[in-house]
Amino acid sequence: MPHTEFSVVYTAHATHHAAPEFMEAFKLTLEIVQEAYRAGSATFVPGTGSGGMESVARQLAPGKRCLVVRNGLFSFRWSAILDAAQIAREVRILKARQVEDAPTAPFAPPPVDEVVAAIAEQRSEVVFVPQVETSAGMLLPDDYLTRVAEAAHAVGGLLVVDAIAAGPLFVDMPTVGADVVISAPQKTWSGTPCGAMVMMTDAVKAGLKPTSSFALDLAHWTRIADSGRAMKVDYHATLPTDTIIANSRMLAAVRDLGFDTARARQWELGTRVRAGLVDLGYPSVAAPDFESPSVVVVYADDALATGDTGGTGIRVSNGVPLQLGERPDYRAVRIGLFGLSKLTDVDGTARDLLDAFAALRRA
């Protein structure tokens, strides 16, 4: 076999970013996420989901009055990014809280009227919220997001939604009023981590400009995405080509299942699992009306809170601090319900998980 790969970017053991198979996969990725969220435009920021969050923060937050809705550890990340970068003019944080003072009382997000009033008072220029908070299994439903978007727009601000853990609860950006939505391959799209997809309105795209980051510059990566859509070779930094190719097949599989079908199955699975766990004596950390179907978090004993499932054969995630001023005896376990394998077998997924938790109760 002749040696043909002599570029200074890749070896013959990886797909070059100019290869037609990568160009097609990259274009397909952008088309699918743009369709799923009904976005004006979409780009890809290589690295991690958190890198995508930081790229958005560095683009939109410099010198701005920012408001963060913190529903747990992973929306704490917004203020952590803003603090580390030292770019915002002002950061105001509104936190979720327990609905009553009891060890296993559920948590609810800050009341939407409180958020709307804070936006009006601060005249928030950027509002950062989590659609699903991974640490608490808490969902901000569409009507909540819409109220926040309306309040932000009323004072000339923008709404940024972290949708990384939301599974196929695709934010309809024009209907909800979201200006930027961030997703990632590993949860919603059943893929491998390698970066973030950032969806935005045409107005946000038109206002992009160079930022204080080179590797996470949203404007540069949007240029790369525009070139990709046109099947033109462009370069900013080296892309994870083979991972993007593999992930594009998973994105296509989600689209083939149907966005509405995937959403309905996610709700069916999440509702069934959460109800089953409550019946087994595991109270939900998220309050009614704010319970996510993609991530379920329940109160647990010390052993289960570490992720120890006692030889049942299932893998769950340990509980983490919520960064909400929670009680010192807070203990929980986190369960991820995203993924095509689960959505195409709702009955089997619910059965396997609940059987394992029932066995833990009997142990």
Q: Which of 229, 257, 285 is the last residue of a domain?
A: 257
What is the predicted pLDDT for the residue at 132?
A: 99
Distance CA 126, CA 207 (A): 14
Domain membership of residue 100 (yes or no) is yes
**Helix orientation angle between 241-257 and 20-37, rounded to the nearest 10 degrees:** 40
Range of the domain at 345: 259-362
Among candidates 17, 7, 34, which has minimal Cα distance to 227? 17
Both 27 and 90 in one domain: the answer is yes
Both 221 and 318 in one domain: the answer is no
Within 10 Å of residue 204's Cβ, how many Cβ atoms?
Answer: 22
Output the six-digit token pair for 55. Answer: 């790229």
Distance CA 114, CA 135 (A): 22
Q: b/e for 160-196, b at 16 or more Cβ within 10 A?
A: bbbbbbbbbbbbbbeebbbbbbbbbbbbbbbbeebbb
Both 151 and 227 in one domain: the answer is yes
What's the average model confidence in pLDDT over 268-293?
98
Domain membership of residue 350 (yes or no) is yes
What is the predicted pLDDT for the residue at 289?
A: 98
Q: How confident is the model at residue 363 (pLDDT cuts 50, 70, 90)?
A: confident
Both 126 and 193 in one domain: the answer is yes
Helix ranges, 169-258 (H): 173-176, 202-206, 218-229, 241-257
Q: Which of 224, 257, 290 is the last residue of a domain?
A: 257
What's the average model confidence in pLDDT over 257-265?
98
Both 32 and 170 in one domain: the answer is yes
pTM greater than the 0.85 cutoff: yes
pLDDT in tens, 21-42: 999 999 999 999 999 999 999 9
How much helix, strand and coil, in percent to the nearest 5, is found in the chain?
40, 15, 40
Query: Mean pLDDT in the chain?
Result: 97
Both 140 and 201 in one domain: the answer is yes
Q: Is pLDDT at 189 greater than 90 in this prediction?
A: yes
Domain membership of residue 229 (yes or no) is yes
Both 48 and 26 in one domain: the answer is yes
* Angle 317-322-323 from CA coordinates, rounded to 5°: 145
pLDDT in tens, 34-77: 999 999 999 999 999 999 999 999 999 999 999 999 999 999 99
Distance CA 233, CA 107 (A): 48
CATH code of residue 346: 3.90.1150.10
Q: How confident is the model at residue 1 (pLDDT cuts 50, 70, 90)?
A: confident
Within 10 Å of residue 1's Cβ, how many Cβ atoms?
Answer: 4
In total, how many domains does the chain have? 2
What is the predicted pLDDT for the residue at 310?
A: 87
Domain membership of residue 4 (yes or no) is no
Domain membership of residue 12 (yes or no) is no
Both 199 and 217 in one domain: the answer is yes
Q: Is pLDDT at 99 greater than 80 in this prediction?
A: yes
Both 199 and 307 in one domain: the answer is no
Domain membership of residue 176 (yes or no) is yes
Question: What letter would DSSP give residue 110?
Answer: P
Domain membership of residue 9 (yes or no) is no
Both 43 and 80 in one domain: the answer is yes
Domain membership of residue 156 (yes or no) is yes
Both 288 and 233 in one domain: the answer is no
pLDDT in tens, 124-174: 999 999 999 999 999 999 999 999 999 999 999 999 999 999 999 999 999
Q: Which of 223, 257, 291 is the last residue of a domain?
A: 257
What is the predicted pLDDT for the residue at 144?
A: 99
Both 94 and 120 in one domain: the answer is yes
